[in-house]
Chain A
Amino acid sequence: MTSDDQWPFASHERLLRALSEQEEQALSAAEATELAETVARLAAWQAPTPTPSDVRLLLERLEPLLPTAPAQVERVATRRAQAGWLWLLALRQIRLIPQTLWLGSALGLVCLTLFGLVAPFQSSASALLLLAPLIAASGAAFLHGREADPALELTLTTPTSARLILLARVALVLGFDVLLMLAGSALVAAAHSQSAASLLALWLGPALLLSSATLCLSLLSGPVVAIASAVAIWGAQLIAVSAGFSLALALSFARSVTWLTPPLALGLTCIFLVIALLCAPYQRRLA
């Protein structure tokens, strides 16, 4: 590029247009000509142009400063843009989550359903209320962390955020448990000609709340402490009402727990989940 190329007002008309554009009031023809003449003279002051070797040296200085690992960043960005990427992430997590966790939850809930089918409705409802939240909570305790996931170190080295991975796992495991419990509740309610919604209302709130609290605790202090705490909290609630620990009384306890309304349970669940997600990247240091 020569210096002449840098002069953007080669034509007199363009220069006049530029001058009139910058003036608040219309310029008289005489003044416009005078100003244009002044500005046109500026073109005579040429600036140096860099030589090819100057450009080469500048590029040599700049190239090491270019952001690194562009290919990886680009690959991740492209992958994220792909439809169904989250679905793929969830599918990967299904394989990474220990199979015992799926089997344990399924076995517990199937047994609970079978018990509900043969036992009287009140007993089966009490059993659901007692055990369903604990089964869900035990699954949540092993969602994240070195003890639950031997490949955690490897997972954390990937560009995918630890929070997103945890969220996918929560959705998968809690979703799995809730779906099984829904099916079980529907079967039990149908077998006893009762409303499935009333049965559902018994355990869904406590199950979500206890699961999210256990997940949060497992990130802060490990899965064993979390499960022990969940059992202690849930047991203490029941013992507080019934020293005899009768299942029938447990049911009446659930009905009498007015403080744990569905909105409150859901709100507390969300709070625990948010805390868990915030803690997820720092789990190694916390647990």
Chain B
Amino acid sequence: MRRAREVCRQVVCSSDDDLDEELMARVARGDREALVALVERYNAPLLGYLYRLVGGDRALAEDLAQETFVRLLRPAGYQPGRAFRPWLYAIATNLARDHAKSATVRRQATPVSEDALLALCDRSPSPEEQALRAEDASRIATAVGALGSEYREVILLRFYHGLSLAEIAEALAIPLGTVKSRLSVGVRRLRALLGETREEAAR
């Protein structure tokens, strides 16, 4: 599976688009350019993952993303030959879990503010379209936030970041069968939750 992914990426990627594992090996040797390439490649996805995982708290997501990169640079942290992406998401997930577990945290599952969502739109749709989109995003954020963390993690990794089932299993250190069952149950719960929020909105 990993071999197939590497071959695929080697074919698809341009010549200057090195494999993550190669970049990480260079980073471990102190290569600044490789670090810049990795940060440019993964900062946005990582921020997105953590942002959704922690329920839309951008400042917290940024802190956790930064801490993930710091952990990346710890001596003897990366074992050569290990798949990079699952390892990166494993660090991020563990940091988010640790944060959630810390006694000082009082989970605030507030939906994302509509103003913030409007500001994040890349295109320039009409105000009505923006409002509808923000409303839908808010519902989805609420529904995803209502899922148990074990379902939320697999759904985010699978559907927002395109990790394969095997990569998710590696990142979360769970068996492949568990990944499948959590995805299956998670998507169905999500459908039910989104159905509920839609009904609530209709009322």
A62 contacts across to B, CB distance below 8 A? 35, 39, 69-70, 73
Closest 10 CB pairs of A and B: A70-B30, A8-B162, A47-B48, A38-B191, A45-B140, A22-B183, A67-B30, A65-B73, A2-B122, A44-B136
Asked if A225 lies at the interface with its beta carbon under 8 angstroms from chain B, I say no
Given contacts A8-B160, A67-B73, A69-B30, 18 further A-B contacts (CB under 8 A): A3-B48, A8-B161, A18-B158, A18-B159, A19-B187, A42-B159, A45-B112, A46-B122, A47-B51, A48-B48, A49-B120, A50-B62, A61-B66, A62-B70, A65-B73, A66-B35, A66-B73, A73-B29
CA distance A8 to B161 in the complex (A): 6
CA distance A247 to B187 in the complex (A): 93
Binds B, one of A51-59, A133-141, A209-217, A253-261: A51-59
Interface of B is mostly: helix
Residues facing A in B68-127 (CB within 8 A) are 69-70, 73, 75, 112, 116-117, 120-122
A44 contacts across to B, CB distance below 8 A? 133, 136-137, 140
Chain B, Cβ-Cβ closest to A3: B122
Distance to closest chain B CB from A56 (angstroms): 10
Contacting pair B120 A39 (CB below 8 A): no
Q: Residue B190 contacts which of A1, A18, A38 (CB distance < 8 angstroms)?
A: A38
Contacting pair B44 A6 (CB below 8 A): yes
| Residue from A2, A48, A65 with most neighbouring chain B CB atoms (10 Å) | A48
Asked if B27 lies at the interface with its beta carbon under 8 angstroms from chain A, I say yes
Residues facing A in B151-203 (CB within 8 A) are 155, 158-162, 165, 179-181, 183-184, 187-188, 190-191, 194
Contacting pair A70 B29 (CB below 8 A): yes
A50 with B30, Cβ < 8 A, contacts A39-B159, A58-B39 known: no
Chain B, Cβ-Cβ closest to A72: B30
Chain A interface extent, by class: 35 or more
Asked if B31 lies at the interface with its beta carbon under 8 angstroms from chain A, I say yes
CA distance A49 to B28 in the complex (A): 26
List 18 contacting pairs A-B, 8 Å CB cutoff, sorted by A. Answer: A3-B120, A6-B48, A6-B161, A8-B159, A8-B160, A38-B191, A44-B133, A44-B136, A45-B140, A45-B141, A48-B51, A59-B39, A62-B73, A63-B32, A65-B73, A66-B73, A67-B75, A70-B30
Q: Residue B160 contacts which of A34, A42, A65 (CB distance < 8 angstroms)?
A: A42
Asked if B128 lies at the interface with its beta carbon under 8 angstroms from chain A, I say no
Asked if B36 lies at the interface with its beta carbon under 8 angstroms from chain A, I say yes
Asked if B16 lies at the interface with its beta carbon under 8 angstroms from chain A, I say no
Asked if B47 lies at the interface with its beta carbon under 8 angstroms from chain A, I say yes
Contacting pair A54 B180 (CB below 8 A): no
B70 contacts across to A, CB distance below 8 A? 61-62, 65
Asked if A74 lies at the interface with its beta carbon under 8 angstroms from chain B, I say yes
CA distance A38 to B188 in the complex (A): 9
B155 contacts across to A, CB distance below 8 A? 42
